[in-house]
Structure 1
Amino acid sequence: MSTCLWPGSKQLMQTYHDKEWCVPSYDDQYIFEMLTLEGAQSGLSWSIVLRKRDSYQEAFRNFDIKYCSQLNDKDLTAIKEQFNVIKHLAKLQSVRANALAILDIQKEFGSFSNFLWEYINFEPIVNNWEKEESIPSHTDLSTRISKDLKKRNFKFVGPVTIYSFMQAIGMVNDHITTCRYR
């Protein structure tokens, strides 16, 4: 068996593909990390974001939701200047906004994971794509989740970002049918 082609020959991308991509996660902190990184990726390549992942983890204390919810504009500007993160201030401000929104969801649903996984009855969607070109950039479901998140004050959560996010946390398994990690 082979693997998906999109990771290419870069070890960091291959490791992400092999060990994380499309693997179901129910951990709010990891889910928040993936939401943050997918939002940071908007308009950029995933490999750029993965190379900066360690810096993001350091800057946001391993994506501690409560900590991130308490960051002020001065803190976020300092993160922008002192860490090797994407220097887009609105993307950095989205970390705080999304952490605050997650705290609200946790109060209402018990966890961010419960809120998200309920959309698919807690069962991953396993697609049967034969070619990577068949994988959509977004779906009706990612559009619906995007709209719902925006209503709850989330930022950088468009339908394409949310579809990538769904893959990142394993809500969707889009490994091609010949991939050994399927």
Structure 2
Amino acid sequence: MNIKNNYVIIKAKYIYSRREVSMERCDWANGSKIYIDYHDKEWGVAVHDDKVHFEFLLLESMQAGLSWITILKKRENFKLAFDNYDYKKISKYDEEKIEELLNNEGIIRYRKKIEATINNANKFIKIQDEFESFDKYIWSFTENKRIINHYEDTKEVPAKSKLSDEISKDLKRRKFKFLGSVTIYSYLQAVGIIDDHIDSCFRKGYI
């Protein structure tokens, strides 16, 4: 056994393991651990779980007029307040529950948004009844394909698109609330139907 050569190999592995690997990501995610974790682990990853779809619809509708980081900071509070995003339970919330939520300092205490969430839970279930799952409904707009856009800078990323216009219009027809085109575009990015990671981002193209 060549102890010297083995030592060189081991030392090289040790140095490599300690080397700081620079990963480029979308610039909006830098500067905040909450944003970094969300960007690196969730944003743009394809979702096919109805419960997760509803979670993002709830969070995105709550975000309207606010910053996304405000919502992410309150995400666990929302989870607890809204029964772990159980849309079947949420669909049955009554006035007493609404008052309880309005007194919950850990969430967004805006009656119209809370009422919209209850309404949307009911409409969400109706879509499941019609399409077997919300997942089948939402992915049908792109024929189950991801839209991978190519941008060099996050400033190029649009706030909405023809697709988000179409989906928002259909949801409005189905009586959903607080889900305009801009909100829906953000939702589509979140659940991976649209991949808007910049081309140099290490997460680009992740399924």
Distance in 2 (CA, whole Å) between partners of 1:136 and 1:149 is: 21
For residue 163 of structure 1, report the CA deviation from its aligned partner.
0.1
Contact 1:73 1:93 in 2 (8 A): no
Q: Residue 17 of structure 2 aligns with which residue?
A: none
Q: Residue 145 of structure 1 aligns with which residue?
A: 167
Alignment deviations for residues 86-145 of structure 1 (CA, whole Å, 9 cap, x no partner): 111111111111100011000000001110000001111011111111100000110110
- After TM superposition, the structure 1 = structure 2 runs for residues 75-154 of structure 1, keeping only pairs within 5 Å, are 75-154=97-176
Q: Which amino acid aligns with 2:196?
A: D
Range with bigger deviation, 76-85 or 158-167: 76-85
- Note the residue ranges of structure 2 that are not aligned, 5 or more in a row: 1-22
Q: Are 2:96 and 1:74 aligned?
A: yes
SS at structure 2 position matched to 1:84: coil
TM-score, structure 1 length as denominator? 0.98
* Structure with larger RCO (C-alpha < 8 A, sep 6+): 1
For residue 74 of structure 1, report the CA deviation from its aligned partner.
2.2
For residue 77 of structure 1, report the CA deviation from its aligned partner.
1.9
Distance in 2 (CA, whole Å) between partners of 1:101 and 1:38 is: 16
Alignment deviations for residues 3-62 of structure 1 (CA, whole Å, 9 cap, x no partner): 000012110111001111010001111110000101111110000000000010001111
Distance in 1 (CA, whole Å) between partners of 2:150 and 2:126 is: 35
Q: Are 2:87 and 1:65 aligned?
A: yes
Q: Residue 49 of structure 2 aligns with which residue?
A: 27
Contact 1:55 1:83 in 2 (8 A): no
Q: Residue 7 of structure 2 aligns with which residue?
A: none
- Note the residue ranges of structure 1 that are not aligned, 5 or more in a row: none
Distance in 2 (CA, whole Å) between partners of 1:99 and 1:140 is: 25
Report runs of 4+ in structure 1 exceeding 3 Å deviation. Answer: none
Q: Residue 53 of structure 1 aligns with which residue?
A: 75
For residue 83 of structure 1, report the CA deviation from its aligned partner.
4.7
| Alignment: residue pair count | 182
Distance in 2 (CA, whole Å) between partners of 1:77 and 1:16 is: 31
Alignment deviations for residues 52-89 of structure 1 (CA, whole Å, 9 cap, x no partner): 00010001111101001000122122112035111111
Q: Are 2:52 and 1:43 aligned?
A: no
SS at structure 1 position matched to 2:144: coil
Distance in 1 (CA, whole Å) between partners of 2:163 and 2:95 is: 33
Distance in 2 (CA, whole Å) between partners of 1:77 and 1:158 is: 26
